[in-house]
Amino acid sequence: MDRREVWITGVGIVCAHGDDVATVAEAQREGRSGAVALADSFDTTHFDVLAACRVPDADPAIADLKADFGLRAARAAISDAFGEDAIDCRPDLVGVHLASGLVSTPVTEAEDELLASMDAEGRYQHAAAAARLADPSPWRARHFTDRVNRTLTTDYGIRGPSLVNHGACAASAVAIGLGARWIERGTSDVVLAGGYESMIHPFGVLSFGMLGALSERQDCSPAEVSRPFDATRDGFVIGEGGAVLVLEDARRARARGARCWGRVLGMGTSMDAYRVTAPAPDGHGAVAAMRQALSKAGLGPDEIDYINAHGTGTPLNDATETAAVKQVFGGKGEAPPMSSSKSALGHSVAAAGAVEAVLCLLAMRDGVIPPTLNLTHPDPDCDLDCVPLEAREAELTHVVSNSFGFGGVNCSLALGATP
């Protein structure tokens, strides 16, 4: 059977710029940062991290914020694609592939669930745990990370495959790429694909802080902390949010007169097989992912108009990614413009790949390359055209979005503009 064409017919996004596509596009065009003070969320007197990219209307009273983001994004995407809160497709031909990270643990739940089962010395008390067996616990239930899938499949009557992807920072890009393959090979006609994440709580930032991944810059405003490709970069700013795309068989989408946001043309995945928190210095994994995505898309390097970089702002990632892009696309003057959306929205971990896929669609639709904010002192090792400070108008037909994760998992998506 011929490979079917995959259209993106619905988009939902929740990020530090908000949950309205028009607002997100405007912020991207204007080069606004979504960063705020982390101290607005909790006391950081003893924690040397200044900034976070919070969803503006995130309600801290919602214990499972990440699921809230995922459900909001999915419902918005469904509504966008079908014009109503329902999916117009045979239920068994609708699939769900969403990415999620670690379970969020608000402090109050840590107190209720963990401290309550410990003795004065902090030792876990089996009898106390046994006594709590019959008590329902939303937090414990969340450890089965399928709540969003379960809710969506129930609410919308979905009967096709349903997966939770745990591929770290590359997870939601993989979810989109694999979801597209389900359509290409006829497993599904419609797939909800994307991811959601919220780690902006004390235990979340503590974990990333101990991995040495977060910027500890204090000598600037929160909006100036995230500095991908800059010589002064020292880590990423934690973000949160969710993004879901409705992927659809193009023939079916055309027949029902659906709007096309763009096309998924190809995905490449690879593993570094190197270290947990550091990319392989020669960038072989990133190179393989980008080349495979181009190959699947049937495109040459010179046909790519823009690269949305993984661009975390960690010293190792940005230099390695630059070197990898050069191997695939050539050096300065040959490689297409590349920018990092994490300079504005931070790193939303499992959601990042899907959020950035949406930003790529907006870039192609509007003909605007989003800028890399705070890139005032370019690192000589990051010497490609990284679109510093201001957005740039350009006609974009084909773009590549990179997502590279802890554990050396890499994913590149090749996306195409509306035909």
Partner 1 sequence: MALITSVGLACPLGLGREAALAAWRDGSSGLTDNDRWPTDGFPRADAGLVQGFNPRKQLPDRKAVKLMSREAQLGVFAVVEAAGGTDVCARAGIAPERFGAFAAAGYEVSALRDHEEMLAQSRSDDDPGKLDINRLFSTGRDAYNPLAPLRILPNMALFHAGVTLGLQGPHLSLGSSPAAGLVALGEAAEAIDGGDADAALVLGTDAQVEEFRSQMLVEAGILPTLAAGEAGAALVLEPDDADDDDPVGVLAWCAAQEPTRTGYADPADDGATRSRLYGHVLVLAGGPVDACLGDLWGDPARDRAEINGLPTRAELLASRPRTGWLGAASGILDAALAVEEVKAGRYDRVLVTAAGIAGDLAAVVIGRSGATRG
Among 115, 221, 251, 389, binds partner 1 (CB under 8 A): 115
283 binds partner 1 (CB under 8 A): no
Residue type, 343: S
Contact region with partner 1 (CB under 8 A), list: 27-35, 76-84, 104-112, 366-374: 104-112
74 close to 192: Cβ distance less than 8 angstroms: yes
Cα angle for residues 36, 31, 16 (degrees, 5° grid):
35
Residues 334-373 close enough to bind partner 1 by CB under 8 A: none
The least distance separating partner 1 from the CB of residue 96, rounded to whole angstroms, comes to: 7
Build a one-symbol-per-residue string for 262-281: x at contacts with partner 1 by CB under 8 A, - elsewhere.
-------xxxxxx-xx----
Under rule CB under 8 A, residue 21 binds partner 1 = no
The residue among 271 and 394 lying less far from partner 1, judged by its C-beta, is: 271
Q: Kindly give, in sequence order, each residue whose CB lies less than 8 Å from that of residue 254, ignoring residues fewer than 6 positions away.
A: none
State how far the Cα of 396 lies from the Cα of 25, in Å rounded to an integer. 15
List the one residue from 40, 90, 131, 377 that touches partner 1 (CB under 8 A): 131
Establish if 51 lies at the interface with partner 1 (CB under 8 A).
Answer: no
Question: Min. distance of Cβ 67 from partner 1 in angstroms?
Answer: 13
Exactly one of 53, 169, 386, 411 is catalytic; which is it?
A: 169
> Which of 17, 97, 201, 347 is labelled catalytic?
347
2 is a site residue for partner 1 (CB under 8 A): no
Q: Is 162 in the site for partner 1 (CB under 8 A)?
A: yes
Report the alpha-carbon distance of residue 72 to residue 269 in Å, rounded: 28
Residues in 221-250 that interact with partner 1 by CB under 8 A? none
74 or 387, CB closer to partner 1? 74
Query: Is 15 annotated in the active site?
Result: no
Which of 310, 328, 334 shows the shortest CA–CA distance to 383? 334
Residue 207 lies near partner 1 (rule: CB under 8 A): yes
Span of 103-111, 190-198, 214-222, 226-234 interacting with partner 1 by CB under 8 A? 103-111
Taking CB under 8 A as the criterion, the residue among 7, 208, 236, 261 binding partner 1 is 208
* Number of residues counted as binding partner 1 (CB under 8 A): 86
Say whether 201 is catalytic. Answer: no
What residues are labeled active site?
169, 310, 347
